[in-house]
Structure 1
Amino acid sequence: MKPDTLDGWERTHLSTDVSENDVDSEIMVMGWILRRRDHGGVIFVDLRDRKGLLQLVFNPEFSEESHAAAHAVRPEWVIAARGIVRIRPEESINPDLPTGKLEVFVQELKILNKSEPPPFPLDDDIPPTDAVRYKYRYLDMRRLGGVRDNLLVRHRVVSLLRSFLNSEDFIEIETPFLTVSTPEGARDYLVPSRISPGSFYALPQSPQIFKQILMVGGFERYYQIVRCFRDEDLRADRQPEFTQLDIETSFIEEERLFDIMERMMEKIFREVLGIPLTLPFPALTYEQAMSRFGSDKPDIRFGMELTDIGDIVTSTEFGVFKTALQNGGIVKALKVDRGERLSRKDLDDLRDFAAVYGGKGVAYARIKEGGEWQSPIAKFLSSSERDLINQRVEAVPGDVILFGADSFKVVNDVLGNLRNHLAAKLGEIPANEHKFLWVTEFPMFEYDEEAGRYQAMHHPFTSPWEEDLDLLESDPGKVRARAYDLVLNGSEIGGGSMRIYRSDVQERVFSALGIDPEEAQEKFGFFLEALRYGAPPHGGIAFGVDRIIAILTGAESIREVIAFPKTQRATCPLTGAPAPVAPEQLKELGIKVPAKK
């Protein structure tokens, strides 16, 4: 059977556009066959297009020609149909389908293209493996639900972002993909230059320097929905190429920027999910977040806060606590309400959990009547110490107290992640709740033991607080940054800062990072020069678009909201990238690839 051409046919309706107002009207629909059912005389076809499903009826009493043609069709064939809209018989109405009351009696059928049998059924609720789905992503996209619906939500969200920012007088400007490599952040993806042999472009990890230069250029309010690239080890929420909503503003401080971003989020959640958000969002400093939750991106949908008990056990003889405090570390407690829900095995398994985050273990105490402890460590603590700990964490009989004692980083990593783990395990996280939180006043620097120097916690263009400037040379570890993250349900969805806009301050920050004037000039000379030509006070923020869409759609991985994702090995099963190139291309670029061993 030779496929037809459109031959002047033009689709009048997509599936869900058909309504009861079209009953007894002639329409033309086009799409793919999801399934075909022959009921002994009458053939039913579920036609799928990008909006959904519509039932077609091939009845020989209505059209012998189309009925005869329908005998040949198979799943995933591409067809066009002209027919009359009818109301389904009451017994065949499908209340779960938007078009479940309607069907189209087909007068004429055109077979536009055939399909080989697909490698997996497209009408099955159980998806194939990720490797198969990514290789045949075009088929995965046809399946109702899943990535198809996620991409439609993505389109809507991106449209809303643009609409909102345009209404707030922001200007969308594109920045270069081929730029210069900088020494900060993750590894760059490099692009060799044919015209300048031995030199390389770098794909941008973000448009950071360019958007600041746009502020120097006087645009004042910029945004861009931009692709960014980072050569780093992957996980569920990372991809080598990802999409960022990039924003920069001049003559603004944190409070005003937060207000704009909160109203933007409120619009998205109201329009997409029908969920009203309460504004303004709460805020915690970095120090407060780490103290209470052990994380700089805490999930505030539930309690289970951490409590410092170092002052209670400062004179303890318990070796684990004593050693941690003597080494400048901390001791914290995490109370679990109704701890009887945790078995002895659950508690014993915490040693392995702690090891993942660098801890040696997690001590525990079950609280019995009268505040007595059932615990391997009870005998090492005095009764007054145990009583004070009970009071501090507000423990009652039936609770379990978990303890971490080590460095600041290890204790918070272990207990902060354990808090999330136990909340999920015990069903403490409310479903369908969305809690936003600003985390502010991050440390400006973090010390890299391996490199033996300070590194920027965010990036080297983040402004320190004015009152901390004098600490840049004397005590960099105490300098606070005017940096902030927006956290949603324990995920960082955006981060930014007020920027350095004075060249003298930027040079001092470079010096604190161990970047000497020669290296600064080599890597950032064009940027430092721009700051000397009247740069305005400015700041901005960048949001992970993929992560926001994943949260809105309930996807477990950002791969499910990206049209053509990479695997954890940064490969593309669809195209086979990365792949070798012809020797002639390498020779033209002056690149020699060593032979595989």
Structure 2
Amino acid sequence: MRTGTIEVVAHHVLVLNSVTRSLPFPVTTSDTVKEKFPEEIRLRFRVLDLRRPQMQSNLRLRHNVVKLIRRYLEDEHEFVEIETPVLSKSTPEGARDYLVPSRVQPGTFYALPQSPQLFKQMLMVSGFEKYYQIARCFRDEDLRADRQPEFTQLDMEVAFTSMEDMLKLNEDLMRHVFQAVGDIKLPNPFPRLTYAEAMDRYGTDRPDLRFDWELKDVSDVFLGSSFKVFADTLESGGVIKALCVPGGATVFSNTDLKKGTVYTEASKAGAKGLPFLKVMENGELEGIGPLLSSLKPEKKDQLMELLDTKTGDLILFALGEQSSANQILGRLRLFIAHKLEVIDTSAHSVLWVTDFPMFQWNSDEQRYEALHHPFTAPNPEDMDDLPSARALAYDMIYNGVEIG
């Protein structure tokens, strides 16, 4: 044992399975294996991968977090842990279901749960006022960095409560866990942004606030502009948004911005072009010719004051419908921040995003549908205008990732 209480002295060793070649990767104390070896190799030799100290630490950390959650909810708030069925019928939710054929009833299928939504509603009606479980969930959707087919979530429901009470409960839980596990102090209370604010300022509903860059609406600067692309956009009711990248002018070449990595990233978000300006010495600008020539001195000063630019900064523009312009610059904001390594990886940024739209328009089916799921209540203030209603829905965002 590690304590030295029991010491085993071997007198004879019997090889049960000889190794005829070197290991696919070293089982070392460092975590360089993660960077040097593809994930497919690590998964193929999972037994070896799990022997690495970093993986051992990860799984033990997960165990400790779950233990802390259970003790906190049960001992401090009298929650009851209840397991709900995994095999059930399909119900409308946010993604596609995984289906399991029934042997005893040919032609019918079970669905694996995307979340225990219906079951926890039933528990509330049944008199269990505070429920939780560490739930296994399944969603048939494309893989992304923060999405996988099966995952575990803390699922909870409370009857006869308010949105503010639920926000406080979850904040207290997160502060308790972070403090106990990593001696990390999270803010009290958590910062909040409405959905509209998050989209307008950061171009995403899950903003990473470990760096400060914000999107700005510069439509007023270009009213009456002779730059046709901008003029046509404003005339058709669109907007012009801008993102100032500190020091970006010295890092990205015109080629990067016209047809290189930055342009490619913008095009992935739907941009048909990427107008830009660079702030040079003495406040001079360089960039797209027609855009430069359309900027009168007073408009240039107005733009630079609005964006608080400095020598060496890069100004990127996106135009069109507000949602489209926000999405383009929101994507570029993250891409460039990672490229320039300006994100403080030791920071812990947590916030709430509230007031999500209740419905979204499905142009294919010509009808409104729930943006998240149909179990969200509309804001009472918006009952007279349901298509534009805000939902009593909220997401917890940690370092740019939706975690609850």
- Give the secondary structure class of the aligned counterpart of 2:50: helix
Corresponding residue to 2:393 among 483, 492, 497: 483
What's the offset of the Cα at 1:383? 2.8
Gaps of 5+ in 1: 1-12, 19-26, 30-80, 82-105, 495-597
Change (3 A) 1:199 1:121: closer
Q: Deviations over 1:122-146 (max 9, x none)?
A: 435553432232122122212222x
Give the Cα separation in 1 of the matches to 2:358 and 2:212: 29
Structure 1 residue 386 corresponds to structure 2 residue 300: yes
Give the Cα separation in 2 of the matches to 1:132 and 1:393: 47
Corresponding residue to 1:155 among 60, 63, 70: 63
Q: Deviations over 1:274-301 (max 9, x none)?
A: 2122211100101111111111100111
Change (3 A) 1:434 1:351: same
**Amino acid in the other structure paired with 1:164:** Y
Regions of 4+ moved over 6 Å? none
Corresponding residue to 1:438 among 333, 343, 352: 352
Matches within 5 A, 1:159-174: 159-167=67-75, 168-174=77-83
- Give the secondary structure class of the aligned counterpart of 2:338: helix
Give the Cα separation in 2 of the matches to 1:386 and 1:307: 15
Give the Cα separation in 2 of the matches to 1:112 and 1:291: 67
- Give the secondary structure class of the aligned counterpart of 2:226: coil
Give the Cα separation in 1 of the matches to 2:165 and 2:326: 32
- Give the secondary structure class of the aligned counterpart of 1:312: helix
> What's the counterpart of residue 114 of structure 1?
16
Give the Cα separation in 2 of the matches to 1:248 and 1:113: 54
> What's the counterpart of residue 195 of structure 1?
104
What's the offset of the Cα at 1:219? 1.1
Matches within 5 A, 1:45-64: none
Contact preservation (8 Å) 2:241, 2:319 = yes
**Amino acid in the other structure paired with 2:273:** G
Q: Deviations over 1:24-80 (max 9, x none)?
A: xxx425xxxxxxxxxxxxxxxxxxxxxxxxxxxxxxxxxxxxxxxxxxxxxxxxxxx
Change (3 A) 1:385 1:169: same
Q: Deviations over 1:215-234 (max 9, x none)?
A: 11121111110111111111
Give the Cα separation in 2 of the matches to 1:331 and 1:109: 78
Contact preservation (8 Å) 1:359, 1:406 = no
Contact preservation (8 Å) 2:217, 2:242 = yes
> What's the counterpart of residue 423 of structure 1?
337
Give the Cα separation in 2 of the matches to 1:415 and 1:190: 38
Give the Cα separation in 2 of the matches to 1:458 and 1:123: 43
**Amino acid in the other structure paired with 2:393:** A
**Amino acid in the other structure paired with 1:394:** D
What's the offset of the Cα at 1:245? 0.6
> What's the counterpart of residue 46 of structure 2?
137
TM-score (norm 1): 0.62
Matches within 5 A, 1:178-577: 178-344=87-253, 345-348=255-258, 349=260, 350-369=262-281, 371-376=283-288, 377-472=291-386, 476=387, 478-494=388-404
Give the Cα separation in 1 of the matches to 2:376 and 2:230: 37
Contact preservation (8 Å) 2:354, 2:395 = yes
Contact preservation (8 Å) 1:352, 1:361 = no
Give the Cα separation in 1 of the matches to 2:204 and 2:18: 51
**Amino acid in the other structure paired with 1:222:** Y
Give the Cα separation in 2 of the matches to 1:393 and 1:299: 20
Contact preservation (8 Å) 2:132, 2:154 = yes
Q: Deviations over 1:150-207 (max 9, x none)?
A: 1111111111111111122111111111111123321111122223222211111101
Q: Which structure would you say has the larger Rg?
A: 1
Contact preservation (8 Å) 2:146, 2:401 = no
**Amino acid in the other structure paired with 2:212:** G
**Amino acid in the other structure paired with 1:463:** A
Structure 1 residue 123 corresponds to structure 2 residue 24: no
What's the offset of the Cα at 1:235? 2.2
**Amino acid in the other structure paired with 1:277:** L
Matches within 5 A, 1:38-117: 81=8, 106=9, 108-109=10-11, 111=13, 114-117=16-19
What's the offset of the Cα at 1:113? 6.7
Contact preservation (8 Å) 1:231, 1:240 = yes
Give the Cα separation in 2 of the matches to 1:134 and 1:458: 33
- Give the secondary structure class of the aligned counterpart of 1:307: strand
**Amino acid in the other structure paired with 1:284:** L
Q: Deviations over 1:222-255 (max 9, x none)?
A: 1110111111111232221111110111121122
Contact preservation (8 Å) 2:27, 2:51 = no
Contact preservation (8 Å) 1:122, 1:142 = no
Give the Cα separation in 2 of the matches to 1:479 and 1:442: 9
Contact preservation (8 Å) 2:84, 2:119 = yes
Identity %: 46
- Larger relative strand fraction: 1
TM-score (norm 2): 0.91
What's the offset of the Cα at 1:355? 0.7
What's the offset of the Cα at 1:409? 2.7
Gaps of 5+ in 2: none
- Give the secondary structure class of the aligned counterpart of 1:425: helix
Contact preservation (8 Å) 1:294, 1:306 = yes
Q: Deviations over 1:486-530 (max 9, x none)?
A: 001111111xxxxxxxxxxxxxxxxxxxxxxxxxxxxxxxxxxxx
> Bigger shift: 366-375 or 187-196?
366-375
Change (3 A) 1:155 1:359: same
**Amino acid in the other structure paired with 1:482:** L
What's the offset of the Cα at 1:374? 1.4
**Amino acid in the other structure paired with 1:28:** I
Change (3 A) 1:218 1:314: farther
Change (3 A) 1:110 1:259: farther
**Amino acid in the other structure paired with 1:319:** K
